[in-house]
Structure 1
Amino acid sequence: MPEAHEPVPEHHAATKLSADEEHLARLGYSQELNRSWSGFSNFAISFSIISILAGCFTNYAAGFNNGGPISISWSWPILGIFILIIGFTMSELVSAYPTSGGIYWWAAKLGGARAGFFTGWLNLIGLIAVTAGVSYGCATFIDLTLDTVSDGWAESSGLGTIFIIFVVVLVLASVLNIFSSHLMAVLNNISVWWHVAGALIIVLILVIVPDSHQSPGYVFTETFNNSGWFDGSTSAFGFFAVVIPFGFLLTQYTITGFDASAHLSEETESASNAAARGIWQSILYSVIGGYILLLAVTFAIPDGVDGNPANAEVGLGGVAYIFNTALGQNWAGLVLFISAAAQFFCATACMTSASRMTFAFARDNGIPGSRRWAALSANRVPANAVMFVAITAALVTLPALKSINGIPTAFFAVTSIAVIGLYFAFAIPIWLRWRIGDDFELGSWNNGAKYKWMNIVAVVEIVVVCLFLMLPTVPAGAPWRDEFTWASVNYAPIVTIGALVALAVWWTVSARHWFTGPKTTIDKAVVEVFDE
C-alpha cells in the first residue's frame, strides 16, 4: 500500500474500482482506509456519539439550573428542530463530498485553502474537546455508580479519583480504536441497541418505580434560576433572554458529533447516500428518544422536605440526586450503570471520529508533524492519530482537578468548547454552500431548492447559541463583578478566541505559504479514466 502522501502508480488506473472508490478518486484520494462499514454502522457511530444516555444526564443540571423544567421540556424540542435543519444541510454536503476530512474538506473545496485551514482546526479542537468531555462524563458516572452500589467508595472518591478513571477510559478507548476499524464498526452496532434498550429500560424504571411523580404543570411551566444571575429571579427579562439560553448547552452539547458519519465516509459502503442518512437520521432519532428520556427524568423529580419539588437539590446533584432519591439504591445503581456503559461506547466512538479527522487533516499537511499523524498501522488504522487525540484530551481536561464547591466547572467549559468548536466548523461550509448557490455540484442526496432557507437558518442558530455559550455562566466568572474568581471563569471564549487569533497569526505569517488545502494521493490518470 502506498504511503499517505505518495500518488498511486499509473497501472492502478486499469484496476476495476467500486463506485465508492471511483467517487473518492474523483475527489483526489486513493482508497487507503478499510471500507468495511455498512450504512447502519455509519448511522450507529453518530448515534453513539450523540448518546442520549450521556449528554442528557451529564449536562442535565446545566439545563435545570438555567431555567428549570421549562428549560428541559421546551428548549430540547425547539433546538432539536434547528439542529435537524443543520443536519440536513450537512447531509447534502457529505453526499457530494464523502471524505474523512468531512467538514474541513467541504470548506476548502467551496472557499479555498484559508477557509479549509480555519475550519479544520475548529473541527479538530471541537472533536478533541468532545472526546474529553464525554470521557470525563463517563468517569463521573462510573464514580457515581460505584458510590451508589458500594457503601465505602465515597470515602476514597473525589476529583482526583474521577480524573484517574477518566485517564483509564481514554486508554481503553484508544486501545479499542487502534486494534481494528472493523471492531469499531461492530462496537458501534452494539452501542445502538444498548442505547435503545437502555433508554427504554430507564424510562420504564422512572415511570414505574417512584412512589409519586410531578404534574404536567410542573414539567411544562415550572421555572427555576440557580445561575446566580438576576438574584434568582424567574420573571425578569434577563431570565428569558440570558439565563434560559445558558441552558441550551444541554441540547446543543448532547446533539453534536454527528459529523462522525462524514469522517467515516471513506470506510462506509455506498457512502454518498449512507453517510447522508447517517447524519440526519442520527439527529432525528436522538431528538425523539432524548426528549422522552428527559421528560421521564423530570416527571420523576422528588419532592423536598417542605413538600415542594426539590429544585435546589436537583440543581446541585443533577440526575444522580433524582435517581437515588426517587428510585432507591438498587434501581439507581442499575440506571447509573446503564448510562456509564453507554457513555463508554460514546467516548470510544468520539475517539474514532476525532482520529479520522486528525488523519485526514494531516494527510493534507494541515497539522505539524503531519506525516506521523497520517500514518496507518498494519490494520489500516491511524493509530498515531488516536494517541494524539487521547493525550491532548487528557491535557485540556487537567483544570477539572480544580473545583468550585466540589463542582468541576472546567468540565462544563470543555463541553462548551466542544459545542463552539464543532458548530462554528459546521457553519463555515454550510454558509459557503449557500453562497455558491445553484452552481453547487449536488450529490445523490440533496435538499433541492430548500437549501436557500435551510442554510441561513442553520448558520444563524449556530452563531446565536455559541455566543451565549461564551458568556460568563455564573456571576463569579464575570470580571466586572466584586465576587470574581478565576476558578469560576468560563474559559470557553478564552480558548475559542485565543485559538482563532493564534490561527490568524499562524496563517498570515506561515501557513498560507505552504498549506494549499486538500492534496491528491491518487494519480491523475486514474481520475481521467472515470471522467472520460
Structure 2
Amino acid sequence: MAVESASDAQLLAAMGYKQELRRQYSTIHIFAITFSIMGLMPSIASALSFSLLVGPAGMVWGWVSATFFIFLVGLSMGDLASALPTAGGLYWWTHHFAAKRFKNPLSFLVGYSNTLGLIGGLCSLDYTLSLMILSCVSIHNDGEWTASRGVIYAVFAAILILHGVGAAFLGRLMPRILTVCLYLNIALVVATVVALPVGKRVVRHEPLNSAGYVFGHVENQTGWPVGWAFFLSWLAPIWSVASFDSCVHMSEEAMHAARAVPLGIVWTAGSAWVLGFLCVAVIAAVMDTNVDHTLSSVFGQPMAQIYYDALGKRGALGFMAAIIFVQFLMGLTVMVATSRQAWAFSRDGALPFSNFFRHISTRVKYQPVRVVMGLVVMGLIVGLLCLINNAAANALFSLFVASNYLSWGLPIFCRLVWGQHEFQPGEFYTGVWSRPIATVAVIYLAFGIVLSMFPTTGPNPSHPAEDMNYTVVINGIVWAGCLIYYALFARRWFTGPKVTATTSLNAEVSKNQTETTFDGEWA
C-alpha cells in the first residue's frame, strides 16, 4: 500500500498537484462507490415512469440498447481515467487535450457543467427518495393520504442535511460503508428478482406475464410516434447509469488509481447492462398488464404499485423500506463524490470563494468539510423547484443528465479532434478500438443531450406549463451563463488547472500560470 501510494502521488505530481487527500480506497471500494451511487434497483424504481413510455417491450429493449452505448462511453472514459487520474478529471482532461485557444473556456464550461450536474443529480436522488418515503406512508394508509409539496420539500431538506453531515464527518468510515452498500445493492437485486415472481405465483396465485408480453408488447403512452417514444424510454437507463464519473472524482483517494478508477467505471457500466436487463425483464413479467394502472399508482410511485400487486401490503412496505435505506446510502456516496469535484474545481480557483472552499480539514481526517456544507446550501436552493410542480421537479433529472453528458462528451471530443498526440495510454487501454469507441461515445452523448430536452408527453401537451421539459431552459441558462461569466470576468483570472507541485505533466499549465499558490505560499 505504501509503494502504491507513493506511485500514485508521483503520478499526481506529474499532473501538477500535491497529494492532499488521504488515499484509502481500494479497487473494490472505487467500484463500490459507482455501483452504490448507481443503486440499480432504487434507480430503476425512481425512473420507472420513463421506462414504461412504450410499455414493457420498450422498457426491456430500451434498457438493453441504451446501456450498450453507455458501456462504450465507460470504456472511452476508462482510457482517459487510467492515463490521467485526478479528482478534477473531466475539466482537467478538457484543458489538457483542447486546442490552445479553447483550453480555458472549455475547461471552465465542463467544470461548471459537471459540478452543477452532480448537484442536480444529488437533488433528484434525494427528491425521489422523499417520494419513496412518503409512498410508504400512503401504502400504510391504503392510498388514502397524499403528501403536499411542502411536506415533500421538508422531507427532501432533512435527507439532504443528513447526507451533508454524513459526508463531512464519516470520512474514515466511508470505505466500510461503501462495502456494505455494495453488498446491499446486490442483495436487493437478487431479492427482487426472486421475490416478485414467487409472490405473483405463490402469494397472489396469478400467472406471470408471457414472454410475448414482456419482450414484444408495445403500448405508446406518449403523443410521439412509437419510434421516438422508444428512444425517450432511454431516459430511464440514462438517468440510472449517469454517475460512473464519480470514480474519477475519487482518483486522488484511490490506491493504484490508474487501474482502480477505470475498472470501477467499466465494471459499473457492465453490471448495469446485464443486471439491469434482468431486473426490468422480471418487472415486466409481474406488472399489471394495464400499464396505466402502474403509471398512475395511487401510491405516487410506480415501483411501489408493482411490489404491492405482487407481494401485498406487507411485502411492498418491506421492499420499499429496503430500497429507501439503500437509496439513502446512494445519496451519501453522491454527496461524497460531488464534494470532491467541487473541491478540485475550487483548488483551481474556478468557483466563487475558492480560497474558502478548497480548505481540507485535518480535524475530521482530511475531509473537504466546507465544500460539503456549501453543497448542502446549494442543494436546498435548487431543491425549491419541487415546490412548483412535477415538470419543475423533473428539471432536476434533466439538469443531471444533460450537464453530465456535456461534461463527459467534451473531453473525449477534445482528445479525438485536438489531443490524440497528447494522449499517452495508462494501464487500462482499449487499444486499436480506442478511437472508434470514443467516436461512437461522442455521437451517443450528443444524441442523449438532445433526447433529454424533449417533453415526454408529446409534441402538443394538453397542459403546457406542467408537461413542458425545462431542460433546454435550465441547461441553456447554466451553459450560456457560464460562458458569459467567463468572457466578462473569469478569463482574467482563470488560467486552467493550478500547479501545486513542482513537476507538471502539462507544460501548457505552467506556461499559462502567472501566479500559483498553495496554502498562501509560492508553489
Instruction: State the TM-score, normalizing by the size of structure 2.
Output: 0.89
Instruction: Specify the alignment match of 1:254 in structure 2.
Output: 240
The 1:16/1:416 distance shift into structure 2, 3 A limit, reads closer
Instruction: Specify the alignment match of 1:356 in structure 2.
Output: 340
Q: Is 1:416–2:402 an aligned residue pair?
A: no
- 1:134 pairs with one of 125, 131, 140: 125
Q: Distance in 2 between matches of 1:411 and 1:289?
A: 28
Q: Map 1:290-329; keep pairs closer than 5 Å.
A: 290-302=276-288, 309-317=289-297, 318-329=302-313
Q: Distance in 1 between matches of 2:506 and 2:434?
A: 29
User: Contact 1:34–1:181 at 8 Å: present in 2 too?
Assistant: no
Amino acid across the alignment from 2:230: I
Offset at 1:365? 0.6
- 1:218 pairs with one of 193, 196, 213: 213
Gaps of 5+ in 1: 1-14, 231-237, 303-308
Q: Is 1:73–2:64 an aligned residue pair?
A: no
Q: Distance in 1 between matches of 2:415 and 2:404?
A: 17
Q: Distance in 2 between matches of 1:186 and 1:450?
A: 36
The 1:525/1:349 distance shift into structure 2, 3 A limit, reads closer
Deviations 1:483-515 (A, max 9, x none): 453233211110111112112211211111211
User: Contact 1:255–1:283 at 8 Å: present in 2 too?
Assistant: yes
Instruction: Specify the alignment match of 1:177 in structure 2.
Output: 167
Offset at 1:157? 3.0
Instruction: Specify the alignment match of 2:196 in structure 1.
Output: 206
Q: Is 1:273–2:259 an aligned residue pair?
A: yes
Instruction: Specify the alignment match of 1:11 in structure 2.
Output: none
Q: Is 1:487–2:487 an aligned residue pair?
A: no
Amino acid across the alignment from 2:107: G
User: Contact 1:53–1:199 at 8 Å: present in 2 too?
Assistant: yes
Amino acid across the alignment from 1:264: M
Q: Distance in 2 between matches of 1:184 and 1:443?
A: 27
Q: Distance in 2 between matches of 1:347 and 1:117?
A: 26
- 2:483 pairs with one of 497, 504, 525: 504
Q: Is 1:191–2:175 an aligned residue pair?
A: no
Amino acid across the alignment from 2:427: S
Offset at 1:21? 0.7
Deviations 1:22-75 (A, max 9, x none): 1111111111111111111111101111111222011111120x2111221101
Offset at 1:180? 3.3
Q: Distance in 2 between matches of 1:255 and 1:16?
A: 30
The 1:122/1:94 distance shift into structure 2, 3 A limit, reads same
- 2:230 pairs with one of 244, 250, 254: 244
Q: Map 1:445-524; keep pairs closer than 5 Å.
A: 445-475=428-458, 481=460, 483-524=462-503
The 1:366/1:527 distance shift into structure 2, 3 A limit, reads closer
Deviations 1:280-299 (A, max 9, x none): 11111122112211111111
Offset at 1:439? 4.0
The 1:483/1:199 distance shift into structure 2, 3 A limit, reads closer
Give RMSD over aligned pairs: 2.1
Instruction: Specify the alignment match of 1:392 in structure 2.
Output: 378
Q: Distance in 1 between matches of 2:123 and 2:144?
A: 24
Offset at 1:156? 6.7
Provide the secondary structure at the position in 1 that maps to 2:296: helix
Amino acid across the alignment from 2:210: S
Q: Distance in 1 between matches of 2:505 and 2:306?
A: 60
Amino acid across the alignment from 1:85: L
User: Contact 1:245–1:465 at 8 Å: present in 2 too?
Assistant: no
Offset at 1:153? 8.9
Amino acid across the alignment from 2:424: E
User: Contact 1:87–1:283 at 8 Å: present in 2 too?
Assistant: yes
Q: Distance in 2 between matches of 1:154 and 1:398?
A: 26
Q: Distance in 2 between matches of 1:105 and 1:249?
A: 28
Instruction: Specify the alignment match of 1:38 in structure 2.
Output: 26
Instruction: Specify the alignment match of 1:3 in structure 2.
Output: none
Gaps of 5+ in 2: 201-205, 508-523
Instruction: Specify the alignment match of 1:263 in structure 2.
Output: 249
The 1:87/1:19 distance shift into structure 2, 3 A limit, reads same
Instruction: Specify the alignment match of 1:23 in structure 2.
Output: 11
How many residues are aligned here?
489
User: Contact 1:246–1:468 at 8 Å: present in 2 too?
Assistant: yes
User: Contact 1:472–1:489 at 8 Å: present in 2 too?
Assistant: yes
Offset at 1:17? 7.0
Provide the secondary structure at the position in 1 that maps to 2:489: helix
Deviations 1:157-199 (A, max 9, x none): 3332222111111111111100132222221111100000111
Q: Is 1:383–2:369 an aligned residue pair?
A: yes
Q: Distance in 2 between matches of 1:488 and 1:527?
A: 47
After alignment, is 206-215 or 519-528 more displaced? 519-528
Instruction: State the TM-score, normalizing by the size of structure 1.
Output: 0.88
After alignment, is 464-473 or 262-271 more displaced? 464-473
Q: Map 1:230-241; keep pairs closer than 5 Å.
A: 230=224, 238-240=225-227
Instruction: Specify the alignment match of 1:338 in structure 2.
Output: 322
Instruction: Specify the alignment match of 1:366 in structure 2.
Output: 350
Q: Distance in 2 between matches of 1:27 and 1:437?
A: 17
Amino acid across the alignment from 2:310: A
The 1:526/1:439 distance shift into structure 2, 3 A limit, reads closer
- 1:48 pairs with one of 15, 36, 55: 36
Percent identity of equivalent pairs: 25
Offset at 1:109? 1.3
Q: Is 1:92–2:75 an aligned residue pair?
A: no
Q: Distance in 2 between matches of 1:154 and 1:383?
A: 42
